[in-house]
């Protein structure tokens, strides 16, 4: 989710409700064409299982920011890593860390969309909606 005043302009609200079955604006279902790869990193001391859980939770950020996500045509994935320099985390702390990672990843996707350049004849956000404040 965006922070206050992080996005100056947004598309107008559609006159009709979103059809959850309509993916017409998503392009063709070419395998690998719409893959999103992300990495979340922490200094919290996590072992392999903790990094796996962090990556699973962080993937919620992709679902908050991308529609559709995790289709049969893409390879959307999130990797998590730990430097191990920080304190050990208990399950409750890992839950908070994973929630924060999902929020951070959703914002990172949004910021990437705002910064993107046009490609292959597809206009960028800035071309369609203007430069964010």
Write a three-state SS string for 50-71.
HHHHHHHHHHHHHHHHCCCCCC
Domain membership flag for residue 119? no
Average pLDDT of 105-130?
Answer: 89
Q: Which tens digit of pLDDT belongs to each residue from 73-115?
A: 888 999 999 999 999 999 999 999 999 999 999 999 999 988 9
CATH of the domain at 76: 3.30.2330.10
Helix 48-65, helix 91-115: angle, nearest 10: 40
For residue 37, pLDDT beyond 60: yes
Domain membership flag for residue 16? no
**What is the reported pLDDT for 50?**
97
Query: Measured over all CA atoms, what is the biggest interatomic distance in the chain, rounded to whole angstroms?
Result: 51
**More confident of the two residues 98 and 30:** 98
Q: Which domain holds residue 46?
A: 33-114
Question: Residue 79: which of 104, 51, 46, 49 has the closest Cα?
Answer: 51
Domain membership flag for residue 47? yes
Domain membership flag for residue 4? no
Domain membership flag for residue 131? no
Confidence band for 26, pLDDT divided at 50, 70 and 90: low
Centroid of chain to Cα 121: 23
Domain membership flag for residue 9? no
Q: Would you say the pTM of this structure is higher than 0.85?
A: no
* Tally of domains within the chain: 1
Domain membership flag for residue 39? yes
Name residue 37's beta-bridge partners. 77
Domain membership flag for residue 109? yes
Name which of 20-29, 44-53, 108-117 the model is least confident about: 20-29
């Amino acid at each position: 989710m965006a922070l206050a005043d992080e996005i100056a302009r947004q598309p107008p609200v559609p006159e009709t409700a979103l059809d959850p079955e309509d993916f017409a604006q998503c392009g063709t279902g070419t395998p690998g064409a719409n893959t999103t790869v992300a990495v979340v990193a922490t200094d919290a001391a996590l072992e392999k299982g903790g990094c796996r859980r962090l990556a699973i939770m962080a993937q919620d950020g992709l679902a908050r920011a991308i529609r559709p996500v995790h289709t049969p045509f893409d390879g959307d994935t999130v990797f998590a890593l730990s430097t191990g320099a920080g304190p050990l985390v208990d399950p409750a702390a890992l839950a908070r860390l994973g929630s924060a990672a999902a929020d951070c990843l959703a914002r990172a996707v949004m910021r990437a969309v705002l910064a993107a350049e046009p490609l292959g004849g597809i206009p960028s956000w800035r071309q369609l909606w203007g430069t964010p404040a």
